[in-house]
Amino acid sequence: MESTNDQQGELYEVFIQSKPGQSFKHAGSVHAFDKNMALQNARDTYTRRNEGTGIWVVPSKEITALSLEEQAYFVEPSTDKIYRHPTFYNLPEGVKNM
Amino acid sequence: MTVQAVIEQEKLAQFEAKIENEIKIEPNDWMPEDYRKHLIRQISQHAHSEVIGMQPEGNWITRAPSLRSKKILLAKIQDEGGHGLYLYAAAETLGVSREQFISWLHEGKAKYASVFNYPTLNWADIGAIGWLVDGAAITNQVSLQRTSYGPYSRAMVRICKEESFHQRQGYEIMWRMMEGTKDQQRMAQDALNRWWWPSLMMFGPHDTDSPRSEKAIQWKIKRESNDRLREKFINKTIPQAELIGLKVPDPELRLNEDGTYQHGDINWDEFYAVINGNGPCNKQRLQHHIKAHQDGAWVRETAAIHQQKMNNHGKH
């Protein structure tokens, strides 16, 4: 499929923190040739309207993701332990602050 | 049936169940080859449109009538570049590189919205583009927020948040001209006359002449048909024109009893001529993109060498 020698850098994933104290959320991706360029491109692409102050950039190839084949059984153990949820428990009528 | 065929069939059934239940398809999910191909074509065409669309407006940055309007136009055009990037990133998740998309554009193998092949002759055109071209794009993009492909949908949500400023700035330009001198009013009306029909063409051929649409709607890549979206755009735009004293250049336009509008025939010969490269500015737009890309090649080459040096340095 490739018919070009052009290069546009590596792919980085961008995570934005909307306010101090909030968790970082995936915003999208950018191309860059190094970390600093990735940060600058992320700022220009994803924070033109006060979307956030904190920015993380991570080379996409460094991200380890669950494979599609693993998905079903890998997360399966969490579904059969309903006693991990507070709603599982019976409580006496009238109990407060619980 | 072979084992392989059974597995394929099962995957297709899972895919169709997700589409049915409004569960987004993500990059690593199995998808039919035609679904992938349709998305690659549609999203890259959308991305190219955003980027090529910077040119007709860029024509007026140095000639904007005030510092206020120059700053606004710069911000708008920067947004369009950003929108192109969101969309290229979404398209890349389908397994085609950014470099490849750009080279398909330069080879004439990829299309972009035909509306950007019309010239911007005066300042009123900047108003007409923001109001009508962005207005038509918003109508389409609001609907596409619900597209079945996750990365495309997320790009659309982000873009829609930014687009309404674009339309308002365009309408404000038209309104101010309609409040101005007779000459300014004539300019605004002339711009509407020239941009109205190309804006309606942005929604694509009539549903009866749009062969790919059916599958795209079935897979929920597109959520509403070309004609339905065009109708929505017309219905909201005509009262906006009337409010500031502009007249839509369609002698056959009629108000239906249900409050919707009936429009005259669209000149599809013109649409296909422009799509196929024979619009007023096709050559100029593509050549400019190729030149800008080539002029920037040394920056990318230098950056790539720098990157390699830093990587080698890191290994010692």
- The whole-number pLDDT of residue B28 equals 87
Cβ contact, residue pair B307, A9, below 8 Å: yes
Q: CB-based contact (8 Å) between A42 and chain B?
A: no
Closest Cα to residue B171, out of B130, B121, B232? B130
HSE (side-chain half, CA atoms, 13 Å) at B164: 5
- The whole-number pLDDT of residue B101 equals 96
Q: Which residues of chain B have pLDDT under 70?
A: 314-316
| CATH number, domain with residue A21 | 3.10.20.520
Whether B282 and B118 have beta carbons less than 8 Å apart is answered as: no
Residue A4 lies in a domain: no
A 10 A CB-CB count for B119 gives 13
- The whole-number pLDDT of residue B312 equals 87
ipTM of the complex: 0.83
- The whole-number pLDDT of residue B74 equals 96
Distance separating alpha carbons of residues B44 and B225, to the nearest angstrom = 20
Separation in Å, CA of A84 to nearest CA in chain B: 27
Closest Cβ opposite residue A45 in set B82, B97, B100: B82
At the top level of CATH, the class of B31-315 is mainly alpha
The residue ranges of every structural domain in chain B are: 31-315
- SS3 assignment for B17-30: HHHHCCCCECCCCC
Residue A98 lies in a domain: no
Which tokens sit at B73? 């136009």
- The string of DSSP codes covering A15-65 is EEESSTTSPPEEEEEEEESSHHHHHHHHHHHH-TTS--SEEEEEEGGG---
Residue A95 lies in a domain: no
- The whole-number pLDDT of residue B57 equals 97
Three-class DSSP category at B254: strand
Does residue A28 register a pLDDT over 80?
yes
Separation in Å, CA of B15 to nearest CA in chain A: 13
- The whole-number pLDDT of residue A1 equals 39
Residue A45 lies in a domain: yes
Residue A93 lies in a domain: no
Whether A71 and A30 have beta carbons less than 8 Å apart is answered as: no
* Per-residue pLDDT tens digits for A55-80: 999 999 999 988 777 777 787 777 78
Residue A97 lies in a domain: no
Q: Mutate which of B102, B307, B310, B313 to test chain A, going by most A C-beta atoms within 10 A?
A: B307
- The whole-number pLDDT of residue A5 equals 65
- Please state the domain count of chain A: 1
Residue A30 lies in a domain: yes
Q: CB-based contact (8 Å) between A49 and chain B?
A: yes
What b/e readout covers A25-40, taking b as 16+ CB neighbours within 10 angstroms?
eebbbbbbbeeebbbe
Residue A67 lies in a domain: yes
Which tokens sit at B197? 């029909």
Contacts of A3 in chain B (CB under 8 A): 100, 103
Supply the range of the domain harboring residue A81.
10-88
Q: CB-based contact (8 Å) between A64 and chain B?
A: no
Does residue A2 register a pLDDT over 60?
no
